[in-house]
Amino acid sequence: MFTRPAALVAGLPAGLRPGRAPLAAFLAVSCAWLLLRLVPAVEIEVFARAAAVVASVLTGSPVVRVDEGWMLAGLEPRLVVSAACSAADYFLITTTLFAWHLARRQPRLAVAVMGGLAVALPVTWLVNAVRIVVVGQVHRWVIPHFPEAYSAFLHLCAGVIVFLPALIVLNLLLESHGNRAHRSRCRS
Protein backbone atom coordinates (compact mmCIF):
# COMPACT_ATOMS: atom_id res chain seq x y z
CA MET A 1 0.00 0.00 0.00
CA PHE A 2 1.27 3.44 -0.90
CA THR A 3 1.67 6.21 1.65
CA ARG A 4 0.16 9.48 0.52
CA PRO A 5 2.66 12.34 0.11
CA ALA A 6 0.62 14.54 2.46
CA ALA A 7 1.06 11.99 5.24
CA LEU A 8 4.81 11.90 4.63
CA VAL A 9 5.04 15.69 4.76
CA ALA A 10 2.91 15.90 7.90
CA GLY A 11 5.39 13.65 9.71
CA LEU A 12 8.35 15.90 8.95
CA PRO A 13 9.62 18.54 11.38
CA ALA A 14 8.33 22.03 10.54
CA GLY A 15 11.68 23.25 9.19
CA LEU A 16 11.87 20.38 6.68
CA ARG A 17 8.37 20.65 5.28
CA PRO A 18 8.21 21.98 1.74
CA GLY A 19 6.35 25.22 1.59
CA ARG A 20 6.90 28.93 1.71
CA ALA A 21 10.61 28.94 2.55
CA PRO A 22 11.79 27.19 -0.64
CA LEU A 23 9.35 29.23 -2.70
CA ALA A 24 10.51 32.52 -1.16
CA ALA A 25 14.15 31.57 -1.68
CA PHE A 26 13.47 30.61 -5.29
CA LEU A 27 11.54 33.81 -6.03
CA ALA A 28 14.15 36.03 -4.36
CA VAL A 29 17.11 34.46 -6.13
CA SER A 30 15.20 34.53 -9.43
CA CYS A 31 14.55 38.27 -9.04
CA ALA A 32 18.21 38.88 -8.17
CA TRP A 33 19.42 36.75 -11.07
CA LEU A 34 17.10 38.53 -13.52
CA LEU A 35 18.33 41.90 -12.31
CA LEU A 36 21.96 40.86 -12.82
CA ARG A 37 21.23 39.47 -16.31
CA LEU A 38 18.96 42.28 -17.54
CA VAL A 39 21.13 45.11 -16.19
CA PRO A 40 24.75 43.92 -16.43
CA ALA A 41 26.09 47.32 -15.32
CA VAL A 42 24.78 46.54 -11.83
CA GLU A 43 27.78 44.28 -11.20
CA ILE A 44 30.37 47.01 -11.74
CA GLU A 45 28.38 50.11 -10.77
CA VAL A 46 26.61 48.77 -7.70
CA PHE A 47 28.36 45.67 -6.36
CA ALA A 48 31.98 46.40 -7.27
CA ARG A 49 31.69 50.09 -6.46
CA ALA A 50 30.04 49.55 -3.06
CA ALA A 51 32.57 46.87 -2.10
CA ALA A 52 35.42 49.18 -3.14
CA VAL A 53 33.95 52.03 -1.08
CA VAL A 54 33.58 49.84 2.01
CA ALA A 55 37.11 48.46 1.45
CA SER A 56 38.37 52.04 1.20
CA VAL A 57 36.79 52.77 4.58
CA LEU A 58 38.53 49.70 6.02
CA THR A 59 41.91 50.59 4.52
CA GLY A 60 41.78 54.39 4.52
CA SER A 61 42.56 54.45 0.82
CA PRO A 62 40.59 56.57 -1.69
CA VAL A 63 38.56 54.94 -4.48
CA VAL A 64 39.25 55.92 -8.09
CA ARG A 65 37.33 54.84 -11.20
CA VAL A 66 39.56 53.08 -13.75
CA ASP A 67 38.75 51.23 -16.99
CA GLU A 68 38.61 47.82 -15.29
CA GLY A 69 36.50 48.92 -12.33
CA TRP A 70 37.22 50.69 -9.04
CA MET A 71 40.79 51.02 -7.78
CA LEU A 72 41.85 51.50 -4.20
CA ALA A 73 44.49 54.17 -4.87
CA GLY A 74 47.58 54.35 -2.74
CA LEU A 75 47.73 50.66 -1.87
CA GLU A 76 50.54 48.39 -2.85
CA PRO A 77 49.92 46.07 -4.64
CA ARG A 78 47.38 47.83 -6.81
CA LEU A 79 43.85 46.66 -5.95
CA VAL A 80 41.20 46.96 -8.64
CA VAL A 81 37.67 45.78 -7.92
CA SER A 82 36.34 44.63 -11.29
CA ALA A 83 33.08 42.98 -12.32
CA ALA A 84 34.74 39.61 -11.63
CA CYS A 85 35.34 40.79 -8.04
CA SER A 86 31.80 42.11 -7.55
CA ALA A 87 30.54 39.10 -5.52
CA ALA A 88 27.32 38.98 -7.51
CA ASP A 89 27.23 35.19 -7.07
CA TYR A 90 27.64 35.61 -3.32
CA PHE A 91 24.70 38.03 -3.44
CA LEU A 92 22.58 35.28 -5.01
CA ILE A 93 23.59 32.86 -2.26
CA THR A 94 22.91 35.30 0.59
CA THR A 95 19.62 36.38 -0.99
CA THR A 96 18.53 32.74 -0.99
CA LEU A 97 19.63 32.27 2.62
CA PHE A 98 17.90 35.39 3.96
CA ALA A 99 14.66 34.85 2.00
CA TRP A 100 14.51 31.23 3.21
CA HIS A 101 14.92 32.22 6.86
CA LEU A 102 12.53 35.17 6.62
CA ALA A 103 9.83 32.98 5.06
CA ARG A 104 10.14 30.50 7.92
CA ARG A 105 9.49 33.26 10.47
CA GLN A 106 6.77 35.47 9.10
CA PRO A 107 3.59 34.86 7.12
CA ARG A 108 3.94 37.18 4.10
CA LEU A 109 5.79 35.71 1.14
CA ALA A 110 6.40 39.10 -0.53
CA VAL A 111 8.03 40.45 2.64
CA ALA A 112 10.35 37.43 2.77
CA VAL A 113 11.34 37.85 -0.89
CA MET A 114 11.90 41.61 -0.71
CA GLY A 115 13.50 41.35 2.73
CA GLY A 116 15.90 38.69 1.47
CA LEU A 117 16.95 40.95 -1.39
CA ALA A 118 17.24 44.04 0.81
CA VAL A 119 19.24 42.43 3.61
CA ALA A 120 21.55 40.46 1.30
CA LEU A 121 22.77 43.60 -0.49
CA PRO A 122 24.64 45.35 2.37
CA VAL A 123 25.80 42.01 3.80
CA THR A 124 27.31 41.14 0.42
CA TRP A 125 29.01 44.53 0.20
CA LEU A 126 30.55 44.17 3.66
CA VAL A 127 31.73 40.57 3.26
CA ASN A 128 33.12 41.32 -0.20
CA ALA A 129 34.98 44.37 1.12
CA VAL A 130 36.59 42.20 3.79
CA ARG A 131 37.51 39.69 1.08
CA ILE A 132 39.08 42.43 -1.03
CA VAL A 133 41.21 43.60 1.90
CA VAL A 134 42.26 40.01 2.70
CA VAL A 135 43.10 39.30 -0.95
CA GLY A 136 45.18 42.49 -1.04
CA GLN A 137 47.14 41.35 2.00
CA VAL A 138 47.59 37.86 0.54
CA HIS A 139 48.96 39.43 -2.65
CA ARG A 140 51.31 41.56 -0.59
CA TRP A 141 52.60 39.06 1.98
CA VAL A 142 51.94 35.50 0.79
CA ILE A 143 51.84 35.23 -3.00
CA PRO A 144 55.36 36.65 -3.59
CA HIS A 145 56.77 33.63 -1.72
CA PHE A 146 55.21 31.15 -4.16
CA PRO A 147 55.82 30.45 -7.85
CA GLU A 148 53.71 32.54 -10.26
CA ALA A 149 51.69 29.45 -11.22
CA TYR A 150 50.10 29.42 -7.74
CA SER A 151 48.94 33.05 -7.62
CA ALA A 152 45.46 32.48 -9.09
CA PHE A 153 44.87 29.52 -6.76
CA LEU A 154 46.01 31.49 -3.70
CA HIS A 155 43.80 34.40 -4.75
CA LEU A 156 40.85 32.00 -4.95
CA CYS A 157 41.71 30.44 -1.58
CA ALA A 158 41.77 33.88 0.06
CA GLY A 159 38.25 34.47 -1.22
CA VAL A 160 37.04 31.11 0.05
CA ILE A 161 38.63 31.80 3.45
CA VAL A 162 36.38 34.86 3.77
CA PHE A 163 33.20 33.93 1.89
CA LEU A 164 32.60 30.43 3.26
CA PRO A 165 33.00 31.17 6.99
CA ALA A 166 30.89 34.33 6.58
CA LEU A 167 28.11 32.26 5.00
CA ILE A 168 28.33 29.64 7.75
CA VAL A 169 28.23 32.31 10.48
CA LEU A 170 25.24 34.02 8.81
CA ASN A 171 23.35 30.74 8.68
CA LEU A 172 24.21 29.92 12.30
CA LEU A 173 23.05 33.36 13.44
CA LEU A 174 19.81 33.08 11.50
CA GLU A 175 19.19 29.56 12.80
CA SER A 176 19.86 30.48 16.42
CA HIS A 177 17.70 33.60 16.18
CA GLY A 178 14.91 31.59 14.60
CA ASN A 179 15.12 28.85 17.22
CA ARG A 180 15.08 31.41 20.05
CA ALA A 181 12.11 33.23 18.48
CA HIS A 182 10.28 29.92 18.02
CA ARG A 183 10.85 28.91 21.66
CA SER A 184 9.57 32.27 22.93
CA ARG A 185 6.38 31.94 20.83
CA CYS A 186 5.78 28.45 22.21
CA ARG A 187 6.05 29.65 25.80
CA SER A 188 3.51 32.45 25.41
Q: How far apart, in whole angstroms, are the C-alpha atoms of residue 70 and residue 109?
A: 36
Q: What is the CA radius of gyration of the chain?
A: 20
Rounded distance between C-alpha atoms, residue 173 and residue 131, angstroms? 20
Q: For residue 77, what pLDDT is reported?
A: 82
Q: Which amino acid is at 143?
A: I
Strand stretches in the chain, DSSP E: 63-66, 69-72, 79-82
The CA distance from 178 to 15, in Å, is: 10
Q: Please give the distance of CA 162 from its chain centroid, rounded to a whole number.
A: 11
The pLDDT tens digits for 124-157 are 999 999 999 999 999 999 999 999 999 999 999 9
Q: What is the pLDDT of residue 106?
A: 86
pLDDT tens digit string along 96-109?
A: 999 999 999 888 99
Q: Which residues of the chain have pLDDT under 70?
A: 1-18, 179-188
